[in-house]
Structure 1
Amino acid sequence: MRTIALAVYFTLLSVVMQAYAQDKDKPAYVIFDAKGKQIAYGTMLKRLEAADVVLFGEQHNNSLAHWLEWELLRDLTTAMPGTYALGLEMFEADDQLILDEYLRGQIKESYFLKEAKVWDNYRTDYRPLIEWAKQHSIPVWATNVPRRYAHMVAHHGPAILDSLPAQAKAWMAPLPITIDQELRSYSQMREMMGGNHGQGMQATNFVAAQALKDATMAHFIVQALEQKSKLIHYHGSFHSDYHEGIVWYLRRLRPGLRLLTISCVEQEQLKKLEEVHQEKADFIIVFPAGMHKSY
């Protein structure tokens, strides 16, 4: 009996110590599939390699997500060199010429940073992507609509785009842009705004401005796929969550594309995917809520 009792004691002690050790662990991230099943990075990577387009939805100030973006770009382009193009919401279409000049080594980085509309966190968060692409001759597409045109739509509605010259229209998706105001992500945005924006913008116009960005990014992704067979695209998670936004427009433009999406979220705990995040993407990467932010 004493032997059995000791065996039970040590078994229970082992369970308690393992639980304690797990509580002391501080994982940087955990990956789940859409249903909430935890999966390994390598499993996700293999599935992503089979896709034509990978849409990586980030939280713009998430330092760990930016590190993982670089890791994923490196892994995909190393596994299949010469296959991928890179697309970035963080560059506007009218900066494509400057971006190309820098990637070809025709201008110094100082000129690139001065003349392109780089984001404030470019050096810490996006420069590694650009430099990797530059070193490995990976084409980079500035996929976002120039911000001034989204601003125009948000204040005056999409019809104002018709007044622009042809050169300006070349930096956005072909007009007129179809907008489904009832898409889940768009309707949620409209509800959050309570009908009007604090600066006087009507909620429907604000949604139209977001749709202009989504449609434009999809438009340039399709153009990039005429140059390379695969593409990985980085953008705010809103633009592809629930397979809407960019995904909705891509499916209208190229119905047969094999698309896979990633969404980055933050939770207090990493053991289980919270219900609110399920189905947001094909892969949901969960980061600790208290993690360091890049700004």
Structure 2
Amino acid sequence: MKSFWLASLLMTLLADKPAYLVYDRQLKTSNYEALLRQAGQADVVLFGELHNNPVCHWLQHELAADLLAGGKKVVLGAEMFEADNQLVLDEYVNGTITAQQLEAEAKVWPNFKTDYKPLVDLARENHLAFVATNIPRRYASLVAKKGPGELETLSPEARKSIAPLPVEVDLQLPGYAAMLKMGGPHGSATSGENMARAQAIKDATMAYFILRNKKDNAVFLHFNGSYHSDHFEGISWYLRKANPALRIVTIATTEERDIAAPVEAKPGLADFVLTVPESMTKTH
């Protein structure tokens, strides 16, 4: 009877189709509990998502909720909200305005209702700060088209939504270097450099607003595209440059044909890597 029960259990496990697996920095098998434990000890957690992946958005919500349930103080922030929309975001989180008003007045993403509203609502329900960390897209577009010098022409009021100028950009970092190789819309070196600098301005601005809103003895849980923090570059690079002692945990996400034998995920991609089946349905 015992052997039959064990055989049945084994068959059940083998037949299971997990929605994700967790790996550590060396790409060794890990789990959500280890991720949660390290996140709870961090100053900043950079949760790198694939924007249309439902597993990412579910785990973001679960991680925030579990940190709170474990007694941690939490501040939330996201790439998906631009810094000049902080007031309207605050008004929603504080209960002053409705969700409809937030959607009408903030530049919310097309998948806001399904993917990001649950995170903002978690902040609203638990009286948490939710920080809009990204540079306004019109300014990032300005850099991509004309170069970073154009930011110097902006008004002092406009510059409040950007990391302090001038922003240092290391185009030797692999992520930015890869953008240089790709080039811009016309394949020119200049347009490629502007694209890389626009990406760096985004990363620097998100790091700036994370640091400005970080609270002592609290975990700042930040949601961003995985490419903004993969390989400990991007946002992470700017955070460490400003404060080398900062305890940062990074999470990356990859889609894989076989999540038990990942190909896209590589050692050194992040502190934790979520592998998700490439057949996973998309949110938009």
The TM tier, using the shorter chain, reads over 0.9
* 1:37-52 map, 5 Å: 37-52=28-43
Write out per-residue CA displacement over residues 61-108 of structure 1, whole angstroms, 9 at most, x where no aligned residue. Answer: 001111111101101122124x21101000000000000111111112
Which amino acid in structure 1 is aligned with residue 167 of structure 2? Answer: I
Choose the corresponding residue for 2:251, options 259, 262, 265. Answer: 262
Choose the corresponding residue for 2:148, options 158, 165, 173. Answer: 158
Which amino acid in structure 2 is aligned with residue 222 of structure 1? Answer: L
Contact 1:31 1:41 in 2 (8 A): yes
TM-score (structure 2 length as normaliser): 0.93
Mapped to 2, the partners of 1:126 and 1:156 lie a distance apart of 32
In the TM superposition, residue 276 of structure 1 has moved relative to its aligned partner by 4.8
Please give the root-mean-square deviation of Cα atoms over the aligned residues, in Å. Answer: 2.1
Which amino acid in structure 2 is aligned with residue 285 of structure 1? Answer: L
Contact 1:36 1:272 in 2 (8 A): no
Contact 1:87 1:141 in 2 (8 A): yes
In the TM superposition, residue 21 of structure 1 has moved relative to its aligned partner by 5.3
Choose the corresponding residue for 2:45, options 54, 70, 79. Answer: 54
Mapped to 2, the partners of 1:168 and 1:204 lie a distance apart of 23
* 1:178-257 map, 5 Å: 178-191=168-181, 193=182, 195-198=183-186, 202-226=191-215, 229-257=218-246
Unaligned runs of 5+ residues in structure 1 are 1-9
Choose the corresponding residue for 2:95, options 89, 100, 105. Answer: 105
Contact 1:265 1:277 in 2 (8 A): no
Which amino acid in structure 1 is aligned with residue 61 of structure 2? Answer: W
The aligned counterpart of 1:134 is 124
Contact 1:172 1:216 in 2 (8 A): yes
Greater radius of gyration (CA): 1
In the TM superposition, residue 261 of structure 1 has moved relative to its aligned partner by 0.2
Mapped to 2, the partners of 1:153 and 1:187 lie a distance apart of 17
Contact 2:179 2:193 in 1 (8 A): no
SS at structure 2 position matched to 1:38: coil
Contact 1:215 1:249 in 2 (8 A): yes
TM-score (structure 1 length as normaliser): 0.89
In the TM superposition, residue 271 of structure 1 has moved relative to its aligned partner by 1.4
What is the total number of aligned residue pairs between the two structures?
279
Say whether residues 1:149 and 2:139 are aligned partners: yes
The aligned counterpart of 1:26 is 17
Structure 1 residues 114 and 47, CA gap change in structure 2 (3 angstroms): same
SS at structure 1 position matched to 2:150: helix
Mapped to 2, the partners of 1:43 and 1:203 lie a distance apart of 39
* 1:50-89 map, 5 Å: 50-81=41-72, 83-89=73-79
Mapped to 1, the partners of 2:265 and 2:37 lie a distance apart of 26
Unaligned runs of 5+ residues in structure 2 are none
SS at structure 1 position matched to 2:48: strand
The aligned counterpart of 1:284 is 273
Contact 1:48 1:260 in 2 (8 A): yes
Mapped to 2, the partners of 1:257 and 1:116 lie a distance apart of 31
